[in-house]
Structure 1
Amino acid sequence: MNFKPQGVIPPIITPLTKEGEVNYPVLRQMINHLIDEGVHGLFPMGTTGEFYAFDNDTFRKILEVTIEETAGRVPVYGGANHITTRGAIELVKICEEVGVDAVSVLTPMFVSQTQDELYEFYRKIAESTKLPIILYNNAPKTNVTITPKTVERLSKIENIVGVKDSTGDMTNAAEYIRLTRDNENFHVLMGRDTLIHAGLCYGASGAIASCANVAPRIAADIYDKYKEGDVAGSLDAQFTLVPLRIACGMGTFPAVIKEGLCMQGIPVGKCLEPIGELSEEEKEKLKHVLQDMKLIK
Structure 2
Amino acid sequence: MAGFSTEPERVAERLRDGMASGVLSFPLTSFTEEGDLDPDACRTYLAAQLATAPGAVFPACGTGEFSALDEDEYRTVVSATVEITDGRLPVVAGVGYGWAQALRFARIAEEAGADALLVLPHYLVEAPEAGLVEQLRRIAAGTRLPLIAYQRGPVAFTPAGLRAVAAIPGVIGLKDGHSDLDRLQRLTLAAPDGFLFFNGAATAEIQARAYATVGVPAYSSAVHAFAPEIADACFAALRAGDDGTVNKLLRDFYVPLVELRDRVPGYAVSLVKAAARLRGLPVGPVRAPLTDPGPADLADLERILDTGLALVGAERRRA
TM-score under structure 2 length normalisation: 0.83
State the partner residue of 1:11.
26
Residues 274-289 of structure 1 correspond to what in structure 2 (within 5 A)?
274-289=289-304
CA distance in 2, matches of 1:34, 1:127: 32
Q: Deviations over 1:136-166 (max 9, x none)?
A: 1221xxx343334312321122421111111
Structure 1 equivalent of residue 147 of structure 2: 133
> Contact 1:14–1:27 at 8 Å: present in 2 too?
yes
- Residue by residue over 1:41-73, the C-alpha shift from the partner in whole angstroms, topping out at 9 and shown as x without a partner, is 111111111111121111111110111112122
Alignment of 1:253-264 (within 5 A): 253=267, 254-264=269-279
Q: CA separation of 1:156/1:222 partners in 2, compared to 1, >3 Å: closer, same or farther?
A: farther
The answer to whether structure 1 residue 248 and structure 2 residue 261 are counterparts is yes
What is the one-letter code of the residue matched to 2:114? V
The one-letter code sitting in structure 1 at the alignment partner of 2:284 is G
CA distance in structure 2 between the partners assigned to 1:3 and 1:246 by the alignment: 36
CA pair 111-190 structure 1, distance change in 2 beyond 3 A: same
Q: Take 2:24 and 2:125, find their aligned partners in 1: how far apart are those partners?
A: 28
Letter in structure 1 aligned against 2:183 = N
Superposed CA RMSD:
2.2
Opposite residue 148 of structure 2, the aligned amino acid is: I
Is the CA contact (8 Å cut-off) linking 2:57 and 2:89 kept in structure 1?
yes
What is the distance in 2 between the residues matched to 1:296 and 1:213? 16
Give me the whole-angstrom Cα distance separating, in 2, the residues matched to 1:148 and 1:21: 43
2:222 partner amino acid: S
Task: Output the amino acid matched with 2:260.
Answer: A
CA change 1:270–1:148 in 2 (3 A) is farther
- Selected match of 1:99 from 113, 124, 140: 113
Does 2:222 align with 1:214? no
Q: Report the AA paired with residue 132 of structure 2.
A: L
Q: Which residue of structure 2 lines up, in the alignment, with residue 55 of structure 1?
A: 70
Equivalences for residues 150-229 of structure 1 within 5 A: 150-180=161-191, 183-192=192-201, 193=204, 194-204=206-216, 206-227=218-239, 229=240
Q: Is the 8 A contact 1:250 1:282 kept in 2?
A: no
How far off is 1:224 after superposition? 4.3
Alpha-carbon distance in 2 for matches of 1:149, 1:233: 39
SS of residue paired to 1:292: helix
For 1:216 and 1:75, locate their aligned partners in 2 and report how far apart those are by CA, in whole Å.
18
CA distance in 2, matches of 1:39, 1:73: 10
Query: What is the CA-CA distance between 1:195 and the residue it aligns to?
Result: 1.7
Question: 2: distance between equivalents of 1:9 and 1:237?
Answer: 22
* Secondary structure of 1:129's aligned partner: coil
1:265 aligns with 2:280: yes
Assess, with a 3 A threshold, how the Cα gap between structure 1 residues 234 and 202 changes in structure 2: closer, same or farther: farther
Structure 1, unmatched stretches of 5+, are: none
Q: Distance in 2 between matches of 1:20 and 1:247?
A: 25
TM superposition shift of 1:234: 7.5
User: What do residues 76-126 of structure 1 show as CA deviations (whole Å, max 9, x unaligned)?
Assistant: 1100111x2111122112111211111000231211111001111111211
**CA contact 1:14–1:268 (8 Å) conserved in 2:** yes
Query: Paired residues, what number?
Result: 290
Q: Go from structure 1 to structure 2 and tell me whether the alpha carbon gap of 1:118 and 1:244 turns closer, same or farther (over 3 Å shift).
A: same
Contact 1:17 1:269 in 2 (8 A): yes
Aligned-residue offset at 1:225: 4.7
User: For the Cα contact (< 8 Å) 2:249–2:308, is it kept in 1?
Assistant: no
Question: How many Å separate the matches in 2 of 1:149 and 1:231?
Answer: 37
Q: CA deviation at 1:22?
A: 1.3
AA aligned to 1:250 is R
Q: Among 93, 96, 101, which residue is 1:87 paired with?
A: 101
Structure-2 separation of matches of 1:218 and 1:178: 32
Kept after mapping to 1: 8 A contact 2:174/2:198: yes
Work out which of the residue numbers 72, 75, 80 in structure 1 matches 2:90. Answer: 75
Structure 2 unaligned blocks of 5 or more: 1-8
Identity of aligned residues (%): 25
CA drift of 1:238 comes to: 6.2
- Residue 118 (1) aligns with residue 126 (2): no
For residue 219 of structure 2, give the secondary structure of its aligned residue in structure 1.
Answer: strand
